[in-house]
Amino acid sequence: MTEKEKRDSGELYDANYNQEMIQEREKAKNLCFLYNSIQPSEKEKRKEVMKQILGKTKENFLIESNFYCDYGYQIEIGENFYMNHNSVILDAAKVTFGDNVFIGPNCGFYTAGHPKEIKLRNQGLEYAKPITIGNNVWIGGNVVVLPGVTIGDNVTIGAGSIVTKDIPPNTIAYGNPCKVVHEQNL
């Protein structure tokens, strides 16, 4: 099994020396660099480059600069998607955003993690677990979403939260660690 196959099946893998993964990351980072250098007034050009970065988009979206990701092709965004400045998506695994998702500035979505066992971690091994964000979700500024998390439909995540576990639909959650504090008024 290749390192990429291990990654995609959720096993520990080494991304540091796999030439295919290194080239894929380099391609995405070059495109992010290009995207971040395009003037905000050049909307069509920005949209064209972002469609080259991301795996799947719908028509209505806006991702503010600066934006960074690892691979790009593992990211899918829904219709009416907005991501504010300085967001990072470490997409070693799939990251899926539903429709009507609004993300505040300085947010991070990290599918990659490292083993707790020191020997394995020092070997450069990592794992990747997908992140799924439902429809009609608002994520406040400075939020971090960790590997394997699912955030349900109609959820608000308060600013500064660290989301370590799934958040059920129709709720308002915040804190470190992020916890449900209210039912959402629909």
Q: Which of 43, 56, 58, 114 is catalytic?
A: 114
In whole angstroms, what separates CA 144 from the centre of its chain? 9
Report the distance separating Cα 160 and Cα 155, nearest Å.
15
What's the angle, vertex CA 157, arms to CA 46 and CA 85, rounded to 5? Answer: 25
Report the distance separating Cα 154 and Cα 167, nearest Å.
10
In whole angstroms, what separates CA 172 from the centre of its chain? 20
Cβ atoms of 100 and 136 within 8 Å: the answer is: yes
Active site residue 182: no
Residues marked active site are found at 114
